[in-house]
């Protein structure tokens, strides 16, 4: 029971960190007119650079997994006439 609670808490912490990371990244990108560095994000978030890099990596992996999950559905949508060929 304690293990499940700890896992749930860790997942919630990651979601919070991911949301804060994305918000800071968007704000800095708008302010700087470029992609912010890990150092700039760490300063804005008051995190270590290592934590910024870890969250960024986990977010990239989650996005890639999500993209892989959606690809079969997108491929089916491209073949909307159902003949198995490329769209006309």
DSSP 17-82: HHHHHHHHHHHHHHHHTSPPPHHHHHHHHT--HHHHHHHHHHHHHHHHHHHHHHHHHHHHHHTTTS
What is the per-residue pLDDT across 5-60, written as a single tens digit (0 to 9) for each?
A: 999 999 899 999 999 999 999 999 999 999 999 999 999 999 999 999 999 999 99
Residue spans per domain, the chain: 2-75
On the question of pLDDT at 85 being above 60, the answer is no
pLDDT number for residue 12 = 93
Kindly report the pTM of this predicted structure.
0.71
pLDDT number for residue 67 = 74
């Amino acid at each position: 029971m304690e293990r499940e609670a700890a896992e749930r808490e860790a997942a919630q912490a990651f979601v919070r960190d991911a949301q804060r990371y994305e918000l800071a990244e968007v704000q800095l990108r708008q302010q700087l007119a470029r992609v912010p560095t890990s150092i700039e994000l760490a300063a804005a978030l008051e995190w270590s650079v290592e934590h910024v890099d870890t969250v960024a990596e986990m977010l990239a992996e989650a996005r890639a997994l999500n993209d892989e999950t959606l690809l079969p559905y997108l491929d089916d949508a491209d073949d909307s006439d159902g003949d198995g060929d490329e769209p006309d």
